[in-house]
Structure formats: C-alpha cells, structure tokens
Copies of this chain bind each other. A is one copy, B any other.
Amino acid sequence: MDLRINLPESEIPTAWYNVMPHLPSPVAPPLDPQTHEPVDPAALAAIFPESLIAQEMSDQPWIEIPQPVRDVYRLWRPTPLVRAKRLEEALGLKVKIYYKNESLSPAGSHKPNTAVPQAYYNKQAGLRRLATETGAGQWGTALSFASVQYNLDCTVYMVKVSFEQKPYRGMLIRSYGATIFPSPSDKTRSGRAALEKNPDHTGSLGLAISEAVEDAATHEDTNYALGSVLNHVLIHQSVTGLETKSQLVLAGEKADILVGCVGGGSNAAGLFAPFVPECLDGHGPQMLAIEPMACPTLTKGQFRYDYGDVAQLTPLIKMHTLGHSYTPPPIHAGGLRYHGNAPILCQMVDSGLVTPQAYYQKEVFEAAMLFLKTEGFLPAPETAHAIKGAIEAAKNAEPGQTVVFLYSGHGLLDLAAYDAYLSGKLTDYEYPDAEIAEALKSCPDI
C-alpha cells in the first residue's frame, strides 16, 4: 500500500455533512445578551449572507457544495491521508498511524475549507468586501486567498503583537492582495477608543473581532467572516472527515482512534463529524480532542452560556468556557488560545462522544520534533498538539489498532517558536486554577 492515499478529484465531497441533526441532544441556540432570547436570524444579516445564516441553523444532514467552491477546492483537494510509517517505526509500536494532511492547502492549513465557501456565498449575495480578524495569522491568510478567488476585497485586522512578531504572516496576506491593519487601528470606533485609552495597546483577538464586526456592520458592501466556532464553519470543515472515510476504505483500514487539536474546534470537529453516526451505533472510533494545559477549555471549563469575545459584543453561546475574561498564558500555539469552543464540538464532548485531553507545550514540541525528524515535515505548534495526542493514543492502543489524526497546518511561519524550544526558552504553564475560577465568574448567570 502507498504511504499517501490519494483520491481523485471526483471524490471531493459534493455535499458537506451537518452533524447537528445527528447529535443525541440539540445544539443550544445563541442568545441575545439583553433579552436572553434566541437570536433573531435577521439580526445577523448585517454581517452574514442569508445562505450562511441558513446553514448556521440548518437541520439538514447534507448541504450541497456549490460547483464554484469545488472548482477552487480542487486546487489542493482531496488532500492525502498519509501513513506515518517512519514515525511508527521510531515509536516501536505495532499500531498504525495515519494523518490527514491539510497543510497542503494554499494557505498552509485547513482554514481555506471554510474561507472559500464563505467568500463564495458573500460574492453571490452581492458583497464587495470581507472584513475579518486574525490572531496568529492562519485565518487571515486563508480568507485573503479565498477572497481573491472570487474578486472580493479583503480587510484583515491582525492583533498588533502578532503583526509585529510574525511579519511574514502580514506579508503573505498582503501578497494575496488583502489590506491588513494592526489592531487596534484608527480605522474603527472600537480601535480608536482603545488607542485613546492606551496608545501602546498591543491588541487582543477580542478587540480585533470588534474592529472587523464594526467594519462590516457599518459598511453596506462589506460582510464579516469568522474562521472557527460557528456551526457553518464546522459544517464546511466536514470535507476532511468525509475524505478520510473514503481513504480508510481504500486502504482497507478502520479507524480505532481519531485525534484533532482544539482551539475554536473546527478542525477536530470536521474530522470527527462524519464518524458520529457509527459512534452512536456503538462501533465508531474513540475521538480525542487535544488542547493545551495553558488553556484547558474542554478539560477544565464549564459547559454554559458565555460571550464569544472579551468585549461582550457577540451573542451568548452555550459552550465549554473558561470565562470570557480568561487570558491564556502566552504559549506558542496561538490558534489554541481561546477561552471557549465551538458549540457543536462541546455538545459532542458533553454527550461523551469526544474525550478531551490536555498537554503541556514542551512535551508537545518534543512530539513535533520526532515527527519532523521521522516524517520530514514541520507541523504548526497547534498541529503538534494533535501529534502528541496521537502518539500517546498509539502507546495506549492495542497492537494492530489504527490512529488517525488531523494534520491541520505546517509550521513554516512559526519557526520562532521552534527556535525558542531548541534554545530551552519554553515554559510549561501550570494549571492556572485560581485564574480560571476567577474568570468563570465573568460568565453571565443563565
């Protein structure tokens, strides 16, 4: 059998899989922070196109992928499912390890799987421009790529400290033709207010979200796009799980354990979702969601309504949360530093379908180095969490079992993090129990 299981283009899924109607209990609706009533879909129309709002609420198990989206997907999809044989040999276990390689997309991660349809639907709805925020830069890169495919302009508010620490990210986003502003910027009321209070403000994801949402809400021709958490994002990410299922059939394998890293939850849920029905039937794989010890949303958080952002601008979302006022320690997996998680994934955790696990960053980087030296490719620090989870799962598995993890992105623009690891400069952050307890008090009492 080949190490890389390639599918022909005809196997790019023709429909996304919506796991919501299959879950044992329904995903709780987002609530208006004032009234605590479910949010009126019409209220979302200022920043999202109707087609995506409909997907957000959909009870249909399959949602057709428009042909113009598949036309862009085929630039890199289907992605290969790869047997990590040299990693297996280094571990000396009789367990098979596969990874679904989403790092091969133009933007280098799984993010274009949703950026492309989001750009498409906005173009269809007559929009001229998209606004978004980006933290570490993966999502901003993906949306910039997707926007240029449909001749949309794209404005990216990038958290200022990341903008300065990761100059290559900003350059790549600009290369795709997008406009990028370090946030806080002087382009929005929220940005100006923050700068007035503190001209040296280094920014935060919450603030960048505020700027992007304000930009979209105040410009008729502009909508907002989000890279994780929301239901429609997770639906789009199901392409990875669907392809993986076909590839396992081709390889004559059955997955015993699925592994994904978790920040907002979209890459893990995309892999897991199509396996949920067989899990409910009792013969599906074990599903592991791997998060950082420094931001243990699923392992230490509470499953309750909370704001999606620090500034309390978003609707209330029922999810595992550490409290929206929680500021995770500065670990290098920037994409996993989120106080909450996608409602769909949280529902899977709450119902026992998905098991969360947390690891310290040094052991995660150690796993990344083993992967690099055996398989040759440099993973993103976020992805390295999935690698660590997969290695530990393999150690605990029975001989002959099969572990499949989602390789969410490459680490070529994260080399400073590896340098810090190699230079012995990484810190393992202890459970910030007291801080989390304090931050949880910031959740509204619902």
Which residues from chain A sit less than 8 Å from chain B, CB to CB? 2-4, 6, 8-9, 74-76, 86, 104-108, 145, 148-149, 167-168, 171-172, 174-177, 369, 372-373, 375-378, 412-413, 415-416, 418-419, 422
Contact = CB atoms under 8 A, between A and B. Distances in A.
A378 B2 contact: no
Q: Which of A86, A107, A412, A415 has the most CB of B within 10 A?
A: A415
Given A172-B412, A175-B422, 16 more contacts: A2-B8, A104-B104, A105-B376, A107-B376, A145-B376, A148-B373, A167-B415, A167-B419, A168-B168, A171-B418, A171-B419, A174-B418, A174-B419, A175-B369, A176-B373, A412-B413
A376 B171 contact: no
Given A3-B74, A8-B2, A106 B175 contact: no
Contacts of A168: 168, 412, 415-416
A415 B76 contact: no
Contacts of A105: 376
Contact of A9 (B2, B372, B415): B2
Contacts of A377: 106
Query: What are the 5 closest A-B residue pairs judged by CB atoms, nearest first?
Result: A106-B376, A171-B415, A168-B415, A2-B9, A171-B419
A90 to B, nearest CB: 11
Given A3-B74, A6-B6, A9-B3, A372 B104 contact: no
21 contacts: A2-B9, A4-B9, A6-B6, A75-B376, A105-B376, A106-B375, A106-B376, A107-B376, A167-B415, A167-B416, A168-B168, A168-B412, A168-B416, A171-B419, A172-B378, A172-B412, A172-B415, A174-B422, A175-B372, A175-B415, A176-B372
